[in-house]
Structure 1
C-alpha cells in the first residue's frame, strides 16, 4: 500500500498528534462532565446511556458519507470547517439547559467528529514510510491517551468545584486545535487537484475499487473488535454507578480510576509499537491483536472482585496496556492492507463498526442497570468479551490459512517458468491477494 515515498515528515505527525491530544482532552472533559452532572442530578442508567447514544449514532450513520468526504475533499478544508463548527456547537452546549437541546447539540458535535476522525487517521500513513507507521501510530495513541487521561480527571475536579459549564467552555476552545492543524499541516489528501504527498508532489487521485469484504483478515479484525465492544460496552454506562455508588467513591476518584485505563493505553501503545514493526506477517499481527483484546476482557472480569475503587487502578491499568497495543496493531494492519486513496473510507468503516457496537453496549448497560447490580454487570461484561474472543478464533484461523495458501500459490507460480504469468497488480488491489468473500 502507498505510504510516504520520501523521508517521513515528522513535523506533520507532531501537528496531528498535538491536535488529536488537545481535542481528545476536550471530548473526554465534556463527556465526563455531562455524565457526572446527570448522575449527580439523580438520573438513572437510561439517561446516561441516552446521552452516550446521542454522541455515537452520528458516527455510525454518517460513516459511509464521511469516509468518502475524507478521500475526496481537501483535508485542510475539512479540518478547518469542522473544527470551527464543533467549537461553536460546544459553546452553545455550555449554555444549553433543556435536556432535549443538550442531546441535540451532543449529536451535532458527534457529526463533526465523524468527519475529523477519518481525515486525521488517513493523513498519518501518507506522512510516514512503511517502517515508521508503528511509531507514528504510537504517537497518535499517546496523544489520544494523554487527552483521555487528562479529560476525566479534570472533569472530576472542575465539576465538583464549578459545575459542568466551565469544562464545556474549555472543550469549545480545544477544537480550535483542529483548525490550527488544518492550516499548518503540509501533507494533504483529497480535493480536485489531487493528493499532496509528504514529498510535496501532486498527483491525481487513482480510481480505487477497494471493498472491506474482499479482505478476510480485515473482516475478521473488524468483526472481532465490534463483537468485543458490543459485549463489554455496557461498562461505559455501568462504571459511574459501580465506582460512585457500589464502591462509594468521590467524583475525583472516579476521574482517577477511569484515567488509569487511559494511562495503560499510553504505556501499551509504546510497548507494542516495536513489536508491530517486527511483525511483518499480517496473520501474526492479527493473532497478537486477539490476544491483547482477550487480556482487556480478563482485566474487566477481575475488576468486578475489587472491594475498593483504589484497587481498580492497577487492574484497569493492565487492561489499558492491552487496549493500547491492540489500537496500534489494528491501525498498522489497516494501513498496510488498504490502498492510500481508500483509507478515509477504511478508517470510517472501522470507526462506524466500533461505534455501532458501542451503541449496543450503551443500550444494554442502561437496560440492565434497571434489573441487576453494577458489580454483577461488570463481571458479565468481562465474561461476554472473553466468549466473543473464543468464538472468533476459528474463523480467524481459517482466514489466515486461506491467505497463506494463496501466498504460497503465488510464490510457486512466480518461480515456475512454465506457469502462466499472473495478472499485473493495480493500485486498486490489496497488498496481499486474498480470496473474495
Structure 2
C-alpha cells in the first residue's frame, strides 16, 4: 500500500469524520423514514423491497464506472458535485408522495452514494502516515456508525411527530456536509495525482491488479456476498415483523433498529484488538466469515421473541459480529490492494455485496406476499447459516493454498498499524442495515 510520507493531516481526517457522521445520520434517517411511510400507508412487502432495490441497484450497476472515477477524477470535484446533486434530490423527495416517484428518486440518490463511497474510502490512507492509519480509520468508522445509530431512532421520533417531509429535508441538509468537506479537505486523489506502481500484499503490481487474480480475496468477496444474499431478506421483513407481528410503534422500530448499529460500534473496537493476532490473511478472512455466521445466528434467534424489546440485546450481539466482520474485511483489503486502484477495489467489493443483497430484498418482498413475517425471519437466519457452511469450503482451500505458497513471517506486521482499529471503507449490509 501507499501512504503519505509527509506528516499526517489530522485536520483533513476530522473533516472527513464529521462529514461521514453527518451524512450517514441523514442517510439512515431518510431510509428509515421512507420505509415507515410506505408501511404506514399500507404498502406491502413488494413496495418496501422496491425501495431497497432502488437504493442498491446503482451501487452494483455503476461499480465499474464509479471505482475508476474515484481513482482518476479529482476527489474534490466528485464530492462537491455529488453532494449538491444528492441535496437537491432529497428536497424533491420531501415534496413527493407517490411511491413510484419516491422509488425513482431514491435510485438517483443512490447514484451519488455510488460515487462518494469509494472516494471517501480511498482518501483516508492518503491523509496519514502508516503509523496513524489505525487511529484515523477508527475515527471515521466510529463517526459513520454513530450516524447510522442516530438516524433510525431519530426517524422513528420525527415520522411519528411530523411525518416524512421534515426527515427528508434534514437529510438534504446533511449532504451539504459532503460539499463542505470536499471544498475544505487539502488531501486530494485522482486527476493528475498518480502514485507510482505499488505491489499488493499478494505481490501483484497495481497496474495488473484484478480481483480474480487474488484467489483469497476473491473467495472472501464471494463468501460475504453469498451470506448477505442469503440473509438479506430480513432487511425487508423486519419492519413488518416489528410493527405488525410484534405490534410496536414507529419509535420502538427506530430504537430496535438502532440497537444493531450500537452493536456494530462496540464490535468494531472490540474485534480490532484481535487483528494483530491474525497474521495470516487466510485466518483473517476465515474469522470475518465466522462473524457473519454470528450475525445470521442472531437473526434466527430473533424469530422466537414475543416482544420487540427482547430484540434489543439480540440485535446488539448481531451488531457486535457485524462490526468485527467489517474490521477484518477492511484490514484484509488494506493488506492486499495497492493504492492506485483502491477506489476500484472498494467499488468492486461493495458492488458484489450490494448485488447479493438485492437478491435478498427481492426474495423478502415476494415471500411476504405468501408468508407471515415470523417464519421468514427464521428462514433468513437459517439460509444465512447454510451459506456460511457452504462458502467456508472454497475460502479454506484458498487460504491453505496461499499458506503453502507464502509462509507468514514472525516479523510481518499485522496491518498498516500494529494494533489495527476499525477500517474506513467497507460495511457489510446485513440486518439492521
Give the TM-score normalised by the residue count of structure 1. 0.88
**Take 1:156 and 1:14, find their aligned partners in 2: how far apart are those partners?**
29
* Aligned residue in 1 for 2:5: 5
**Take 2:95 and 2:8, find their aligned partners in 1: how far apart are those partners?**
43
* Aligned residue in 1 for 2:83: 83
CA deviation profile, 1:183-239 (whole Å, cap 9, x unmatched): 12222111024469xxxxxxxxx9722100111111111111111110111001000
* Aligned residue in 2 for 1:269: 268
Between 23-32 and 9-18, report the one with greater CA deviation.
9-18
* Aligned residue in 1 for 2:345: 346
SS at match of 2:406: helix
Offset at residue 98 of structure 1 (A): 2.8
**How do 1:276-425 residues align onto structure 2 when only pairs under 5 Å count?**
276-408=275-407
* Aligned residue in 1 for 2:429: none
* Aligned residue in 1 for 2:136: 136
* Aligned residue in 2 for 1:200: none
**Take 1:221 and 1:261, find their aligned partners in 2: how far apart are those partners?**
23
In the alignment, structure 1 segments of 5+ residues that lack a partner are 197-205, 412-437
**Take 1:281 and 1:15, find their aligned partners in 2: how far apart are those partners?**
34
* Aligned residue in 2 for 1:429: none
Sort the Cα spacing of 1:403 and 1:6 in 2 relative to 1 into closer, same or farther, 3 A. farther
SS at match of 1:315: helix
Offset at residue 100 of structure 1 (A): 2.5
SS at match of 2:274: helix
* Aligned residue in 1 for 2:62: 62
Offset at residue 131 of structure 1 (A): 4.8
Offset at residue 8 of structure 1 (A): 3.6
Sort the Cα spacing of 1:219 and 1:133 in 2 relative to 1 into closer, same or farther, 3 A. farther
**How do 1:146-185 residues align onto structure 2 when only pairs under 5 Å count?**
146-185=146-185
Is 1:16 aligned to residue 16 of structure 2? yes
* Aligned residue in 2 for 1:107: 107
SS at match of 2:219: helix
Is 1:36 aligned to residue 62 of structure 2? no
**Take 1:305 and 1:31, find their aligned partners in 2: how far apart are those partners?**
26
Between 262-271 and 138-147, report the one with greater CA deviation.
138-147
Offset at residue 342 of structure 1 (A): 0.3
Between 220-229 and 121-130, report the one with greater CA deviation.
121-130
State the structure with more CA Rg. 1
Q: Do the aligned partners of 2:237 and 2:377 also contact (CA within 8 Å) in 1?
A: yes
Root-mean-square deviation (CA, aligned residues, Å) is 1.7
Between 129-138 and 257-266, report the one with greater CA deviation.
129-138
Give the aligned length. 401
Between 115-124 and 385-394, report the one with greater CA deviation.
385-394
Sort the Cα spacing of 1:74 and 1:327 in 2 relative to 1 into closer, same or farther, 3 A. same
**Take 2:131 and 2:288, find their aligned partners in 1: how far apart are those partners?**
19
Q: Do the aligned partners of 2:38 and 2:99 also contact (CA within 8 Å) in 1?
A: no
Between 97-106 and 286-295, report the one with greater CA deviation.
97-106
Between 30-39 and 272-281, report the one with greater CA deviation.
272-281
In the alignment, structure 2 segments of 5+ residues that lack a partner are 197-204, 410-433
Offset at residue 119 of structure 1 (A): 0.3
**Take 2:185 and 2:319, find their aligned partners in 1: how far apart are those partners?**
30
Sort the Cα spacing of 1:302 and 1:132 in 2 relative to 1 into closer, same or farther, 3 A. farther
Is 1:248 aligned to residue 247 of structure 2? yes
**Take 2:257 and 2:53, find their aligned partners in 1: how far apart are those partners?**
19
Sort the Cα spacing of 1:266 and 1:284 in 2 relative to 1 into closer, same or farther, 3 A. same
SS at match of 1:208: helix
Q: Do the aligned partners of 2:206 and 2:341 also contact (CA within 8 Å) in 1?
A: no
